[in-house]
Chains A and B, each alone.
Chain A
């Protein structure tokens, strides 16, 4: 992994020259990849980094001739020069014999979503055995023994038993390990990993990245790692190529790119990444009223009882999604809720709003008038009034806006249904809200499909703020956005918080976002809050071993100060 430990052999294995990929679309021709050149060398990792739509995944697929119609390689060469002979992949027929001999055999590939890349109807073992039988013409027993060996190599526990299990019986990290075992089954010369850890939690990500680096060193492969995460790049890359709008904006060794970026796009990308590495400058020390809780959550729990049988009457087992959670949200503060997937953080947000009914516990909201409202005891109408004060911002800017309604209808709907404003008054208020979130008020006649992800999220924020709320629950509000847009949205929320005196409950899996945005942070694990404290304390000197493991697994976007290799592992008893 570290640059100095790699034997410097300048043997280039895969040489991509002036690759151009075009997609014929109705409006004309869209060039997804334009004149891209790079070289993969034995024992080195090249990270292809870029934001969504930059063409990095298309490049990776082109290297395996996996581009779907209407896309095609227009020009350029992909020269594979290995021990097993040389070939120009760009010239091969995508359905031909020659490319199939290369796929899986000489170039292994790992995809983002291990669940959809592995077959759900075959056992893990059968899928790897098939690869071995196909490419290396191994016998059944030999292939099986080799598969067990491979599974052991990728640190899957008890491989003799797990070889006969199905994809859905594996966790996300285990699936990605199995996928790696499959990609490496034939000792490929080149490994292409397309966002291999994007769907994984940070602790799992750290382990999978470790595994990829270790396997690469052991097998002496050339690796192409595609990612949008600059932290991952800094942790694992030897060389970096930054892609922007189908071109390579800048390329060089990892140190050159991170510490001597030349291209303005690289600089901008790095600055927005580094900006999220510390607390926002926009944050001022909260002044008044921080000791008054505006929202109190006490012993909140949600238990699911899966039901079975013809009339769903039999109850089996019990799953605690949220388990005895208590905290206070102070007036004017931002409280972050951090946790990995399945930790119950999203459910917690929905329990507070009673989108999902809690099983037990209490939620107390203190409105301006001073009395305390027990949210759980409210009837429908009273709950609607509370929903005007406590608003939710969603993760997915595509799913959270009704595609059949214009922006005016979307932002104005809460005003209309709560009989606050209608007609021209509503229109004026919508214009005001759009201007507040930085959108042109003229855009109100448009439908959501005419906006980009970041703009849609702004529409979602405008809808949340239209009712003059006091508390905003932001559920992974920036997770679906690219890093540069993420910081813009966070800055917008911070500015609005100060202007409108909002209190935020900020739910996220992303430590850097929480550190940037929040005053205090609560760490959740398996439905429970394991630790709660100021953002500074949690992010630098956490006390709970789980938090320590979580924080230390976050990749650090500086190749000179890698964090992951010195990370702390948290081995909790599996229950």
Chain B
């Protein structure tokens, strides 16, 4: 009710242009920011987001991860279940660019180094050593196993592989029955990055709806919903998860079981989102521009969907981006503990199951390193992206 004339001091436009109060009020702020003057919320968000280098880099990483997930069959040299018992615990071979030819000069030739196999008679075990002398030539778009991309197109072209289909390469090593870790990691990306999304979507819909209703109407409705939120968030999820996983028919495929359980658990996971949406709606309801829209004659639907929801969509986007890594972590840890996904489904958590005993880690550390790295990089990227989006979503933030 009182004047706060200094609030405008150093007022900035979206592109960071400083605007001094204009002499004549009717003259428009023409000099600077003509571009920003006609920029809507998404454009401004994009501008601010682009200035955040870490978040930008994270977004690129995430896009790459999802591309890998989409084109898994094409990118993986082998299928996830192709076993070669003769190559158990084979170490990573790596990719080399150059070979020394007979004349001693360097020559470009994409290849992987082969193995020198020694058989330990007493232990009845083969040990592998990478032998730089042996050369397995590699090529792009090579013929390999036949597969159906997305279950539709039958082809045998793989992005990268040995030019001779009879030879084998293990870029990241192999596991205890000679399956290629690199290929399995690629297939695991598809499951790990997608299965949690279902849970996020369910939480999102429930959270926005119940939170919005609670915040918009307030009063008794709000009280009831808030008490429900409190009760639901007091439920222990992991025992519930284990119980549900046990209750689902055995005939269901492991992925479907996991999918169902995730869906059920996300029915309990909407509470924090609902609280946040409620808080925002509560604040928005009292905003002058919402009152103005009501006095303009807007219906409740229009008020909610045209005036209130657009004000929080960018925040919702940030919230969702921050919810996805929680789902990835949940999948990984539950599968690792054996109550999430189970073989033959391939996910990062399932891959980590192989690294549960100390012997495996000592003999084949790559079984721990690569899946764990994939989890960490993707989770970190989502977190950075979410933080960047959240900062960029603030309409008048600097």
Give A residues with C-beta under 8 Å from B: 23, 25-27, 30, 32, 51-53, 55-58, 112, 195, 198-201, 228, 245, 311-312, 341, 346, 353, 355, 384, 387-388, 391-392, 394-396, 399-404, 406, 413-414, 417-418, 438-440, 443, 445-447, 449-455, 458, 460, 463, 467, 476, 479-482, 485, 488-489, 509
What is the interface residue range for chain B against chain A?
35 or more
Cβ A52 vs Cβ B5 within 8 A: yes
| Apart from A32-B10, A112-B4, A392-B291: 9 A-B pairs, beta carbons within 8 A | A52-B9, A53-B20, A200-B2, A346-B1, A388-B297, A392-B295, A417-B302, A452-B22, A479-B1
Cβ A27 vs Cβ B223 within 8 A: no
Cβ A399 vs Cβ B3 within 8 A: no
Which of A23, A112, A384, A402 counts the most B-chain CB atoms under 10 A from its CB? Answer: A402
Q: Which residue of A lies closest to B310 (CB)?
A: A404
Cβ B288 vs Cβ A394 within 8 A: yes
Return chain A residues, CB-CB under 8 Å to B295.
353, 355, 387, 391-392
Cβ B40 vs Cβ A53 within 8 A: no
Q: Which residue of B lies closest to A508 (CB)?
A: B1
Q: Which of these, A392, A460, A479, contacts B3 with CB under 8 Å?
A: A479
Contact count A vs B, C-beta below 8 Å: 174
| Complex CA distance for A112 and B12, rounded to whole angstroms | 22
Q: Which of these, A51, A200, A417, A455, contacts B297 with CB under 8 Å?
A: A417
Return chain B residues, CB-CB under 8 Å to A27.
15-18, 32
Cβ B289 vs Cβ A400 within 8 A: yes
Contact sample, A vs B, 8 pairs, CB 8 Å cutoff: A27-B16, A341-B1, A392-B295, A399-B289, A413-B296, A449-B36, A482-B5, A488-B25
| B291 vs chain A, min Cβ distance (A) | 6
Return chain B residues, CB-CB under 8 Å to A26.
15-16
| Complex CA distance for A418 and B295, rounded to whole angstroms | 11
Return chain A residues, CB-CB under 8 Å to B20.
53, 245
| Complex CA distance for A112 and B22, rounded to whole angstroms | 25
Return chain B residues, CB-CB under 8 Å to A199.
2, 4
Cβ A404 vs Cβ B298 within 8 A: no
Cβ B292 vs Cβ A463 within 8 A: yes
Return chain B residues, CB-CB under 8 Å to A391.
295
| Complex CA distance for A45 and B29, rounded to whole angstroms | 37
| Complex CA distance for A312 and B293, rounded to whole angstroms | 29
Report if B231 contacts A (CB, 8 A). Answer: no
| Complex CA distance for A312 and B38, rounded to whole angstroms | 46
| A212 vs chain B, min Cβ distance (A) | 18
| Complex CA distance for A467 and B297, rounded to whole angstroms | 11
Q: Mark B17-48, 1 if CB is under 8 A from A, else 0.
A: 11111100110110011001111110000000
Report if B79 contacts A (CB, 8 A). Answer: no
Report if B168 contacts A (CB, 8 A). Answer: no
Q: Which 9 A-B pairs have the closest CB atoms?
A: A450-B37, A26-B16, A400-B288, A414-B296, A52-B5, A454-B25, A446-B37, A399-B288, A402-B289
Cβ A25 vs Cβ B18 within 8 A: yes
Return chain A residues, CB-CB under 8 Å to B299.
417
- Contact A446:B25 (CB < 8 A) given known A355-B294, A387-B297, A476-B1: no
Q: Mark B283-314, 1 if CB is under 8 A from A, else 0.
A: 00001110111111111001000010011000
| Complex CA distance for A96 and B358, rounded to whole angstroms | 55
Cβ B2 vs Cβ A401 within 8 A: no
Cβ B19 vs Cβ A452 within 8 A: yes
Report if B233 contacts A (CB, 8 A). Answer: no
| Complex CA distance for A443 and B27, rounded to whole angstroms | 11
Q: Which of these, B19, B26, B292, B302, contacts A439 with CB under 8 Å?
A: B26
Cβ A399 vs Cβ B287 within 8 A: yes
- Contact A392:B292 (CB < 8 A) given known A341-B1, A417-B299, A479-B2: yes
Report if B243 contacts A (CB, 8 A). Answer: no
Q: Which residue of A lies closest to B2 (CB)?
A: A199
Cβ B25 vs Cβ A452 within 8 A: yes
Cβ B296 vs Cβ A403 within 8 A: no
| Complex CA distance for A311 and B225, rounded to whole angstroms | 11
Return chain A residues, CB-CB under 8 Å to B11.
53
| Complex CA distance for A449 and B397, rounded to whole angstroms | 12
| Complex CA distance for A199 and B2, rounded to whole angstroms | 6
Report if B252 contacts A (CB, 8 A). Answer: no
Q: Which residue of B lies closest to A411 (CB)?
A: B296
| Complex CA distance for A438 and B28, rounded to whole angstroms | 10
| Complex CA distance for A399 and B36, rounded to whole angstroms | 19
Q: Which residue of A lies closest to B24 (CB)?
A: A488
- Contact A485:B4 (CB < 8 A) given known A353-B295, A449-B13: no
Q: Which residue of B lies closest to A199 (CB)?
A: B2
Report if B120 contacts A (CB, 8 A). Answer: no
Return chain A residues, CB-CB under 8 Å to B2.
198-201, 341, 479, 509
Q: Which residue of A lies closest to B1 (CB)?
A: A341
Return chain A residues, CB-CB under 8 Å to B298.
413, 417
Give B residues with C-beta under 8 Å from A: 1-22, 25-26, 28-29, 32-33, 36-41, 223, 287-289, 291-299, 302, 307, 310-311, 395-396
| Complex CA distance for A481 and B3, rounded to whole angstroms | 7
Cβ A312 vs Cβ B6 within 8 A: no
Cβ A509 vs Cβ B9 within 8 A: no
Return chain B residues, CB-CB under 8 Å to A440.
26, 28
| Complex CA distance for A445 and B39, rounded to whole angstroms | 9
Return chain A residues, CB-CB under 8 Å to B292.
392, 394, 400-401, 460, 463
Q: Which residue of B lies closest to A195 (CB)?
A: B6
Q: Which residue of B lies closest to A507 (CB)?
A: B1
Return chain A residues, CB-CB under 8 Å to B10.
23, 30, 32, 53
| Complex CA distance for A16 and B19, rounded to whole angstroms | 27
| Complex CA distance for A167 and B245, rounded to whole angstroms | 55
Cβ B297 vs Cβ A451 within 8 A: no
Return chain A residues, CB-CB under 8 Å to B28.
439-440, 443, 450-451, 455
Q: Which residue of B lies closest to A394 (CB)?
A: B288
Return chain A residues, CB-CB under 8 Å to B40.
404, 406, 447
Cβ B4 vs Cβ A480 within 8 A: yes
Cβ A396 vs Cβ B288 within 8 A: yes
Cβ A418 vs Cβ B297 within 8 A: yes
Cβ B297 vs Cβ A414 within 8 A: yes
Q: Which residue of B lies closest to A399 (CB)?
A: B288
- Contact A447:B37 (CB < 8 A) given known A399-B289, A403-B396: yes
Return chain B residues, CB-CB under 8 Å to A353.
295
Cβ B26 vs Cβ A403 within 8 A: no
Cβ B25 vs Cβ A30 within 8 A: no
Cβ B3 vs Cβ A402 within 8 A: no
Return chain B residues, CB-CB under 8 Å to A417.
296-299, 302
Cβ A30 vs Cβ B21 within 8 A: no
| A338 vs chain B, min Cβ distance (A) | 12
Which of B288, B298, B302 counts the most A-chain CB atoms under 10 A from its CB? Answer: B288
Return chain B residues, CB-CB under 8 Å to A346.
1
Return chain A residues, CB-CB under 8 Å to B37.
443, 446-447, 449-450
- Contact A52:B6 (CB < 8 A) given known A413-B298, A463-B296: yes
| B391 vs chain A, min Cβ distance (A) | 15
Q: Which residue of B lies closest to A205 (CB)?
A: B2
